[in-house]
Amino acid sequence: MAVLRNYLPIIAFLFSVIFMRLPMEARAQEAVPIRLYEQKIQAGLIYNLLKFTTWPDSAITDDKLHVCLYGGDPFDGYLNPLKGRTAQQYVIEITEIYQMDDLFHCQLAFITPSRANELARLLPALRGKNILTVSTIDHFIQKEGMIEFAVQKDQRIHLYINGSATRESGLTISDRILNLAEKSVR
Amino acid sequence: MLFTACAVFSLTAQASTDDYFDLAPEQLLSAQVLSASKKVEDVADAPAAVYVITQEDIARSGLTSVPELLRLAPGVNVARADSNSWAISIRGFNSLTANKILVMIDGRTVYNPLFASTLWEVQDLPLEDVSRIEVIRGPGGALWGANAVNGVINILTKSAKETQGGLVSAGAGNYENGFVTARYGGKTGEDSYYRVYVKSFSRDNLKTPSGGRNHDEWQDYRSGFRLDWGDRDAADRVSIHGDVYHTDTDQFHQSYSLTAPYSSIGEETIRSNGGNILGLWRHRYDDGATLKIQSFLDCTNRKEILFHDRRTMLDVDAQYNFSPQGRHEIVFGGNYRLTMDDIGGSDAIEFNPASLTQNLFGLFAQDKITLTPDEWYLTVGTKIEHNDYTGIEIQPNASLEWTPDDRQTVWGSVSRAVRTPSRIERDLNIQNITLPPGSFFGSLPAEIILTQNDDFNSEELIAYELGYRNSITNNLSIDTTAFYNDYDRLASSTLLTPFTVNNGIDPLHLVLPLLAENDMSGDVYGIELAGSWRVTNGWKLSAAYSYLNILLHAPTVAGLSQETAEKRSPQHQANIRSYWNLSENWTLDTMAYYVGRLPADDVDDYVRVDINAGWRVLDNLHVNLVGQNLFGGSRREFSPETDDNAAEQGTSFFGKVTWQF
């Protein structure tokens, strides 16, 4: 037990950090800005992209905006409440997709990071197809992706837009959103 | 009790903001990200030396086993001793039973308390289902407990949802006699997914150093499943996974006697089998706090001529992770592990006691404190464990992290870690292992005996690390670490005073009594560098280099352990890899690995070159042709030439077809 005694100050310190701090921090709550799960922020941003992007009429065949989650749902279900809501005059549809061929009927394709290794053939295949590509994969816009959500050291989500790739696909993103992007490839 | 208390706290402190769809884009972009659960999983951002082997690396390296894949990580020394055994270590002390790294597969430890090491030949899984392998160099004792001394390796599989549909991959070559994996994933309900797999392979023997046929072929058969489900709106997730396996590995076995011919070599097949099941429940509170409770049961069985080990491990682990409003990110938890074993001996070895039940209790807490937002972070934590051999072990860590901008991170840390005694070090008795006349001294045959040492203690490390990471451009990043490790009470074998025995039964012989002790200390330092550069969209280069210097101190009677431990890890190691997309459907990947000389066993340095050509025949049909060890002829990577099982490997080729449906 002599060994334990040497470490008592460390243990005491840790317990004080954990337990003494709590009430104090709870009081400081008002000063804190909005805090949200990353998935909720991203889901909110997807909704805004649906509201502020114009697809050519020919791209929308069934009066629906199809949001396709390629490689699964990275939003932990937080995007699902959008199902059946409308953006512009279209009903939003959300589908998980695992085969590349199923992407072509989508208006917005979200590529999960687990499929990052497929970008090199995925993005060229989608080029010019009226599909807004969105991802959290690093350097997504440098790889010809259109919209990138990046969590930076400041614990905020940063929006990067590849303007030329978006225009090439016949999509128009409103200045409302473009002006918020920090790194646009024009 | 503790968890209930925290759950109550988190309910009162939560600020519910469910209408995130009603927020303006400006508000969303200025919201602070809450992702406490991600923090723990996202080790790449931790103030530690971390390297992540991704699914891309796995697919493109052409390597076919978990131990071989570790060649990709900087600072890891992978030496293949024969077809079915590896010596793998981080930051020195390599041996076939390297004892200072903790390996986990989906949170289940595969560290074997009998040898204090990982039996790599029985650790396998469908590589297509691996999400990533996190290789953490340096001590992880503050989070993971004892035996995470020089590093931690986390092998993480994809979720069942990410492995939907069917996959069949199969192939063969001149060393790979044949391998096949079949996996199918489906849905069992709204939010629940499953996958099942079977995998099997047969690998050929290597050559003996004199060019003969080594006896080291092996076959492996395994099957497993994973179920993931939960009501995601309630933020509860449950996973259950399990595996069963059977592995047959061949080796030469030596038998001894005190009369001529003193020893003889026979062939044997080691039969290993086992099964495990793990359950994990994760609950996320609305303010981002998470509660994780995991339990697993792992049974293993290994039978060879020398001994027969049956082992059952039951482990329960709980952790609670929360960020009280403000500058703290706290994780704390506790664990309990029950290990029961039964070891049958032989003429040569005996364990006393032969059956043992051991209990391990642990508590840990860690707080990441933001000193200056976006700039300075301090992390302090400790694990306190109680084990039956050495009692209470305390393993604290403190690290300081500075992020001057988005691209750069500088970090430093000080930690203490221990390696607790193995069953072998505490309870093994050896007799009847003999040396022919003339091999020690004089003309007498000699017998080696080892008597168990109940005082064998934990090895201890104080580690100092300094690291720097920089994403110089979006396509170029580097990561470098320097460390100094100060070891004390390292394991050593002490040769006690030899004596002669003339008992009238055995011939007159010399007895060499050995004792396992903690008589060695050591200073180890080194640097590790890793970089990656995306040259063009279709071409990526990665490189790694590591330097290591080991200085051990031991009294002369333990000099043998000092010599071998110092000289069984290479001073220099490097690798360079090129992943090149030739066209839409063709990839050509080239990997070169350099491993320095091992003076202890007269193992030469070597360069290994592998090439993997991939052809996408159809969207769901891929063909790969892989050549390994292409230049430089055959070579021995680890055991001395005189070792019964020493092996040399040469060039090998295989082809592989992967079909997804």
Residue B380 one-letter amino acid: V
pLDDT of residue B17: 39
Contact (CB<8Å) A117/B56: yes
At residue A3, the 3 state secondary structure works out as helix
pLDDT of residue A134: 95
For residue A1, the tally of other CB atoms under 10 A from its CB is: 6
pLDDT of residue B231: 57
Beta bridge partners of B408: B470
Nearest Cα neighbor of B423 from B269, B512, B307, B513 is B307
pLDDT of residue A117: 80
Beta bridge partners of B54: B132
Burial class (CB in 10 A: 0-12, 13-18, 19+), A52: middle
pLDDT exceeds 80 at position A77: no
| Mean pLDDT across A73-78 | 81
pLDDT of residue B45: 61
Distance from CA of A120 to the nearest CA of B (A): 7
| A183 interfacial to chain B (CB closer than 8 Å) | no
Which residues in chain A (69-88) have CB-CB distances under 8 A to chain B? 71-73, 76-78, 81-82, 85
pLDDT mean for each 10 residues of chain B (661 residues): 33 44 84 52 67 91 96 95 96 92 95 92 96 93 92 93 92 96 92 94 94 94 93 75 97 87 91 96 83 96 94 95 81 94 91 94 92 88 95 96 85 96 91 80 82 92 95 84 96 86 86 88 95 87 95 77 83 96 91 94 93 92 96 88 89 96 91
Q: Which residues of A touch B406 (CB under 8 A)?
A: 152-153
Give me the total of CB pairs closer than 8 Å, taking one residue from chain A and one from chain B. Answer: 178
Distance from CA of A57 to the nearest CA of B (A): 25
Nearest neighbour of A28 by CB, restricted to B235, B325, B537: B325
Nearest neighbour of A4 by CB, restricted to B21, B392, B538: B392
Scored b (16 or more CB within 10 A) or e, B250-278 reads: bbbbbbbebeeebeeeeeebbebbbbbbb
- Please, which contacts does B291-294 make with residues 24 or more away whose CB atoms are closer than 8 Å? B291/B3, B291/B6, B291/B7, B291/B318, B291/B319, B291/B320, B291/B321, B292/B317, B292/B318, B292/B319, B292/B320, B292/B321, B292/B333, B293/B317, B293/B318, B294/B107, B294/B318
Task: Say if residues B365 and A13 touch (Cβ distance below 8 Å).
Answer: no
Report residue B484 as tokens: 């100094």
Contacts for B504 with CB less than 8 Å, ≥ 6 apart: none
Per the model's pLDDT, the better-predicted residue between B60 and A99 turns out to be B60
Contact (CB<8Å) B32/A3: no
Burial class (CB in 10 A: 0-12, 13-18, 19+), B615: middle
Whole-angstrom CA distances from A173 to A146, A159, A166 are 11, 13, 8
Q: Which residue of B has its CA nearest to A86?
A: B21
Percentage of chain A beyond pLDDT 70 is 79
Nearest neighbour of B17 by CB, restricted to A36, A72, A138: A36
Nearest Cα neighbor of A25 from B329, B115, B297 is B329
Q: What is the CA radius of gyration of chain A?
A: 22
| pLDDT tens figures, B365-395 | 999 898 887 789 999 999 999 999 999 999 9
For residue A57, the tally of other CB atoms under 10 A from its CB is: 7
C-alpha span between B548 and B483 (Å, rounded): 10
Task: Say if residues A70 and A103 touch (Cβ distance below 8 Å).
Answer: yes
Residue where the block lists tokens 């020394």? B77
DSSP string, B286-355: TTS-EEEEEEEEEEEEEE-SS-EEEEEEEEEEEEEEE--TTTEEEEEEEEEEEEEEEEE--SSEEESSSE
Contacts for B42 with CB less than 8 Å, ≥ 6 apart: none
CB half-sphere exposure, B113, CA atoms < 13 A: 29
Confidence of residue A18 (pLDDT cuts 50, 70, 90): very low
Confidence of residue A8 (pLDDT cuts 50, 70, 90): low
Burial class (CB in 10 A: 0-12, 13-18, 19+), A155: middle
Contact (CB<8Å) A7/B232: no
Residue B89 one-letter amino acid: S
pLDDT of residue A10: 52
Nearest neighbour of B365 by CB, restricted to A18, A32, A99: A18
For residue B509, the tally of other CB atoms under 10 A from its CB is: 19
Query: Rounded to 5 degrees, what angle do the CA atoms B288, B292, B297 make?
Result: 165
Residue where the block lists tokens 């931690």? B152
DSSP 3-state percent helix, strand, coil across chain A (nearest 5): 45, 25, 30
Report residue B331 as tokens: 């994780």
pLDDT of residue B5: 34
Phi and psi angles of residue A62, each rounded to the nearest 5 degrees, phi first: -125, 30
pLDDT of residue B564: 79
Residue A183 one-letter amino acid: K
User: Mean pLDDT over all residues of chain A?
Assistant: 79
C-alpha span between B517 and B575 (Å, rounded): 37
For residue A32, the tally of other CB atoms under 10 A from its CB is: 12
Contact (CB<8Å) B28/A153: no
Nearest Cα neighbor of B276 from B246, B243, B245, B301 is B243
Contacts for A49 with CB less than 8 Å, ≥ 6 apart: A108, A132, A134, A147, A173, A177
Element (DSSP H or E) covering residue B58: helix B55-61
Distance from CA of A23 to the nearest CA of B (A): 9
Per the rule left: phi > 0, alpha: psi between -120 and 50, beta: everything else, A144 is left
pLDDT of residue B76: 96
Q: Which residues of A touch B616 (CB under 8 A)?
A: 121
Contact (CB<8Å) A29/B162: no
pLDDT of residue B252: 92
| pLDDT tens figures, B512-552 | 888 888 989 999 999 999 999 988 878 999 999 999 999 99
Q: Which residues of A touch B322 (CB under 8 A)?
A: none
At residue A32, the 3 state secondary structure works out as coil
pLDDT of residue A135: 94
Q: What is the pTM of this model?
A: 0.77
pLDDT exceeds 60 at position A21: no
pLDDT of residue B42: 47
Residue where the block lists tokens 């289940």? B108
pLDDT of residue B348: 86
